[in-house]
Structure 1
Amino acid sequence: MAAAGEGTVAKALEVLDRVAGYGRPVKFSELLDDSPYPKATLYRFLQTLTGQRMLSYDPDRGTYAPGMRLVRLAHAAWQQSSLAPIARPHLDTLSERLGETVHLAQLDNGQVLYVDKRNARTPVQMYSQAGKVGPAYCTGVGKAMLAFLPEEQLADALEQQSWRRFTDKTFTDPASLRGELLRIRARGHSFDDEEHEPGIICIALPILTSSGRPLGALSITSTTSRTSLAEMEQLAPALNETAQAIGRDAEDWAFPETQTRAFKGA
């Protein structure tokens, strides 16, 4: 829920998030059941968002869904703010070389946002898809990024985790995860040992700037029926080479810095 004092824009964006979170067109009655706002307030937000084309309304079904304006904004964000366009050729090369599932992710409000993916030659059914949000505390890419955050940012990110137990291997409290993050930082890569989904394992590395700040993370994912973590660890050099190449290209990408300077000088 939007914090007190954040105003109507934050509240409207929260409603937009709730609609998008259903993953399907949703009726007003469903939103009202899950809303912290009175009926009239919720309806006003929905009308405003629909009028701005951030939501679309189907009068025949009486449902709301994300609007086409969001598609345009999402495309702009993908091009201007995500690592995906920079990383694309590197992901293609790594995927072709290894033939395994490759993920590219970034942290978003303490959670993992998958920004790109390459399927294995023999695809594996799993939760992660480009555009989906997942937990940071029990995924390889999430732990790889958390391990390299400065302490203040790490503490903030840990406060935003749900600590839900997905499997019997899931870390469910900050203290135990912190121990794992120290081990990840020491060896340079993380694992997902069936912590989010049974049978799904991965090795992941952070994508770092030259100063050591995590920009994102890269992973190779497989299943326990096809391989083991010990075998996957042998892929660490190839994964590290790709992560470093993406990090170098990202630092050479001057667009965000140029835009920031232009904004400040406006």
Structure 2
Amino acid sequence: MPIIQAIDRALNILDLFDDHDKELKITDISQRMDLHKSTVHSLLKTLQKHNYIEQNHENGKYRLGMKFYERGNLINRNIELKKLAKEHLVKLSNKTGKTVHLVILDGKEGIYIDKVESSSATVLYSRIGRRVPINSSGVGKALIAFKSQNEIDNFLKDYDFVRQTENTIMDKESLNKEFEKVRKQGYAIDNEENELGVFCIAFPIKNQNGQVVAAISTSTTVTKQDEVEFSETFKLIKLTAERLSNQLGFRGKLSNK
């Protein structure tokens, strides 16, 4: 597998900073990297543009930027959420016999941060770390639908609609209508929109401020889904989402059903 030299060099620059060398001059970086100062300067400016590096204007030295603090907090929150949710996911999977997912928003996509499969689970397409589109997934809709309309409009700017199946929502107007439906009913579904033959029910996980911090879903094959199955699964996933949200400080209702 080929290595992209510029990325490799940029990452090596970041690795130069530690508890001993919290700030470095461009000449120090150039010497340690065995690179010309002009090359190092270009790499630093690129990292600085994305807030991974910042410059101390008092002494001209460079140091790690606030982006690491932001990303570090995000990772810590995700780890805590994953720990908190694990028991709930296992119980839900055991009771429903379905694959259960925990998903967070990362940029313009959802990302699976945990997954539990029961012994009878038949849905195997997902994996932890895999990204999932917003427009074609139940969890994606649940992550975005409860934002303000202004936030949704900003999110959908330059959104890349990719067709997964013939049922995939492929335009902003239709997706906004779907978001409105999700808000009214309190949950989202994916009826063969992201994967043929797969049906998902998804609920948002809310924190003490009522903000959606994650989404939880159950997945099964369409052939196993009927009204009785939906009703039983719906009650269990709703209860799980509410209990998890309550643990995060949320005191409202996720659905009136």
Q: How far apart, in 2, do the equivalents of 1:251 and 1:104 lie?
A: 18
**Distance in 1 between the 2:169 and 2:228 partners?**
20
The letter of the residue matching 2:2 is K
Larger Rg, first or second structure (1 or 2) = 2
> Partner residue of 2:174?
176
Q: CA deviation at 1:144?
A: 1.2
Change (3 A) 1:230 1:145: farther
Unaligned 5+ runs, structure 1: 1-25, 32-42, 55-73, 253-266
Partner of 1:204: 202
TM-score (ref. length: structure 2): 0.68
Residue of structure 1 equivalent to 2:85: 87
> Is the Cα–Cα contact under 8 Å of residues 201 and 229 in structure 1 kept in the other structure?
no
- For 2:179 and 2:231, how far apart are their aligned partners in 1? 17
CA contact (8 A) 1:135 1:161 kept: no
**In 2: Cα distance, 1:48 partner to 1:209 partner:** 36
Alignment match, 2:154: 156
Q: Deviations over 1:203-233 (max 9, x none)?
A: 1111123443111111110011322477324
Q: 2:134 aligns with which of 129, 133, 136?
A: 136
Match of 2:216 in 1: 218
CA distance in 2, matches of 1:160, 1:123: 36
Aligned twin of 1:27: 2
Which of 3, 6, 11 lines up with 1:49 in the alignment?
A: 11
- Of residues 87, 90, 96 in structure 2, which corresponds to 1:98? 96
Q: Partner of 1:67 in structure 2?
A: none
Matches within 5 A, 1:56-135: 78-82=75-79, 83-135=81-133
C-alpha contact 1:137 1:171 (8 A) present in aligned 2: yes
CA distance in 2, matches of 1:229, 1:199: 17
Corresponding residue pairs, total: 195
Q: Deviation digits for residues 76-114 of structure 1, max 9, x if unmatched?
A: 865433421111111122122222110111111121011
Q: Give the SS at the match of 1:95.
A: helix
Q: What's the secondary structure of 1:27's corresponding residue? A: coil
Secondary structure of the equivalent of 1:215? strand
Cα separation, 2, equivalents of 1:161 and 1:228: 33
Distance in 1 (CA, whole Å) between partners of 2:199 and 2:227 is: 7
Q: 1:123 to 1:52 in 2, by over 3 A?
A: farther
d(CA) in 2 for partners of 1:158 and 1:127?
26
Answer yes or no: is the 8 Å Cα contact 1:202–1:232 preserved in 2.
Answer: no
How many Å separate the matches in 2 of 1:199 and 1:161?
A: 26
Q: Give, in whole Å, the separation in 1 of the partners of 2:171 and 2:102.
A: 25
Q: Which residue of 2 aligns with 1:12?
A: none
Question: Could you tell me which amino acid in structure 2 is paired with residue 101 of structure 1?
Answer: T
Gaps of 5+ in 2: 17-70, 251-257
The question of whether the paired residues in 2 share the 8 Å contact of 1:190 and 1:204 is answered with yes
Distance change in 2, residues 1:84/1:229 (3 Å): farther
Query: Aligned in 2, Cα 1:52/1:212: closer, same or farther, shift over 3 Å?
Result: closer
Aligned 8 A contact 1:207 1:214 in 2: yes
Amino-acid identity (%): 28
Once residues 209 and 78 of structure 2 are traced to their aligned partners in structure 1, the CA distance between those partners, rounded to angstroms, is 19
SS across alignment from 2:242 = helix
User: Alpha-carbon deviations, 1:159-202, whole Å to 9, x = none?
Assistant: 25321111110000110011111111111111101001111111
